[in-house]
Amino acid sequence: MLDIEILLISGSFLLIACVLMSKLTGKIGMPTLLVFIGVGMLAGSEGLGGIVFDDHSLAQTIGIISLVLILFSGGLDTEWKRIKPYIPHGVSLATLGVLITCGMVGAFAKIVFHFSWAEALLLGAIVSSTDAAAVFTVLRARGLSFSSGLREVLELESGSNDPMAVFLTLFFIQVLGHQELSYPALIGSFFLQMGIGLVVGVGAGRWLRVLLNKVRLEFEGLYPVLTISFALLTYAITQKLGGNGFLAVYVAALILGRATFIHKKSLILFHDSIAWLMQILMFLALGLLVYPTKLVEVTSDGVILAIFMLLVARPLAVFVTLLPTKFNWREKTMISWMGLRGAVPIVLCTYALSANAPKSGLIFNIVFFVVLVSTLIQGFTLRPFASLLKVGAPLKKKIRFPFEYVAGSEIQSELKELEVPHDSVVVSKSIAELNMPQKLLIVLLKRGEDVFSPRGSTVFQGGDTLLILAESKEYNEVVKLVTQVSQAENKAFEEAEPVHGEVEL
C-alpha cells in the first residue's frame, strides 16, 4: 500500500509542475490544458512516473465534480449585462450547433471508420462541445481581443453546451446498451431535463443570494465553503429530480453573478482558484488514463477527424446556426475557428468507458488525440487568423483592485470600474462641471500607466478608467452620463454606416 507521505509528495510535485509549466506555455500561447494532460501522461504507467491508474469510474467522478465547480466559477464571473444581447446566439449554438456537429461527425465516422450508426453518433456527441478555458487562455496569452460580440457568444456557447453534449452521450450509450427508446420519448426527455435544470438553477441562484446576504457568518472563510456546497448540492438535487445538473449549476451561477451579495469579489476570486485546481486535477487524472502507445495506433484517424471537424463540421454548424444573425462571414468564420475542444469530451468518454459501451476504448483514444490536435492547431493560429479576418483587437489590461467595500448590515455600495469612451460628453470636462450624484465617489482614475486620485478640477479624457464607489442607482446614473455621445461625435456617428461596437475581452 502506498504510504501517505509518498502520495502527498507525488501529488504536490505534479501540481507544482503544472502551475510552473503553465507560465512558460502561456508566453508562447499554448493552452494550459496541454501542460496538465502532458504532465499526467508523463506520470502515467508508460511515462517517467510509472503510476498505474485505470479506474474509469473514479476518473468520471473527478471529472463531474470538476466540471460542476468550473461551470459555477464561469457563470459567477460572467457579466450579465454584457452577454444578455447575445443569449439567443449562444443558446442556439449550444443546442442546434451541438446537434449539427454530432450528426456531421457521426456520418463521417460511419463512412470513414466503419462504425455502426450508434457508435458513430456516440463519438459525435462526445466531441460536440467546446471549451472556454482553452480559448480564453490562448487569447490572454496572445494579448488578443475582438471587435464585436464574438467573445460573448463564445462564452455563452462554451458555458452552456455541456448539458446538450452530456444528454446526447448518455442517450447513445443507452442505445448501444440495447435499451428500447423512441424518438418522442427522446424529445420529451430532453425538454424535461433542460426544463428541470433551468427551474432548479434559477431557484438555487436566488436562494443562494438571499442566504449569503441574510446569514451573517462569524468567519469569513466559511462563505466559500457555503458556495461550494451549494453548487454541488444544486447539481445532485437536479440529477435526482431527473434534470440536467450541469445546466442547473451554470444557470444558478449566472443568476447569482448578476446580483449584489456579500464578499462578491473575494468569492469570485476564490472560485476562479478552485476552478484552476479542478482543471489541473481533472486533466492529470485523464492524462494518467492514457497509454501513449495506443494513441500512436489512432494517429491517422485522429488527425483526419480533427481536420474534418475544423474545416467542415464546425464551420457548417456555426454558419447554419448563426444564419439569421447580423454577424458577417468573417465573424462567423472566427467563431468556428475558435471552437477548441478541451476537457469535456474526454470526461464524456469516461461515461462510455464506465458503461462498457462497444468500442469505448477506441473512441477514448480517438477523442483524446482529436483534443490534442485541435488545441495545437487552433491554439497557435488564433492570433494570425484573427488578423487575417480583421476581427482582432488589442487586449485591454484591466486594473485589479484587491479590496471591496461593504456598508452597514446590507450591501449598499461596491467598487466598480467604468471606462470613459473617446466620444463621451464628459471628455474635456472637469468633475466639478458635471452633475455627479452626491453619494458617488470616484476613488481612483487610471490614465495610460498612471493611477491617481482625481479632484474636482480633474478633466476627463477619452480612455480614462474610473474606479467608482457607489450604490447601484447612482452607478447607473453615471453610466448613462458617461456613455452619452457628444453632439459633434453623435452627428458624425449618424452620418456614418453602423458598425459593431468593440467589446473588451
Who contacts 418 (Cβ-Cβ below 8 Å, separation ≥6)?
Answer: 465, 466, 468, 475, 478, 479, 482
Percent of the chain with pLDDT over 70: 84
Q: What is the pLDDT of residue 149?
A: 77
Highest averaged pLDDT of the listed ranges 206-220, 244-258, 382-396: 244-258
Who contacts 220 (Cβ-Cβ below 8 Å, separation ≥6)?
Answer: 263, 266
In angstroms and rounded to an integer, the radius of gyration of the C-alpha atoms of the chain is 24
Please tell me whether residue 446 adopts helix, strand or coil conformation.
strand
Lowest mean pLDDT among 126-130, 144-148, 254-258, 495-499: 495-499
Q: What is the pLDDT of residue 402?
A: 44
* Cβ burial 375-395 (10 Å sphere, 16+ → b, else e): bebbbbebbebbeebebbbeb
Highest averaged pLDDT of the listed ranges 39-43, 318-322, 492-496: 318-322
Who contacts 130 (Cβ-Cβ below 8 Å, separation ≥6)?
Answer: 154, 157, 158, 161, 338, 339, 340, 341, 342
Taking the C-alpha atoms of residue 42 and residue 149, their distance in angstroms, rounded to an integer, is 39
Q: What confidence tens digit (pLDDT) does each residue in 89-112 have?
A: 888 998 999 999 999 999 999 999
Hey, which residues does 416 pair with through a beta bridge? 468
Taking the C-alpha atoms of residue 312 and residue 132, their distance in angstroms, rounded to an integer, is 21
Amino acid residing at 263: H
Q: What is the pLDDT of residue 492?
A: 42
Q: What is the pLDDT of residue 253?
A: 92
Q: DSSP strand E in 186-307: where? A: none
Lowest mean pLDDT among 258-262, 324-328, 400-404: 400-404
- Of 286, 330, 316, nearest to 56 (Cα)? 286
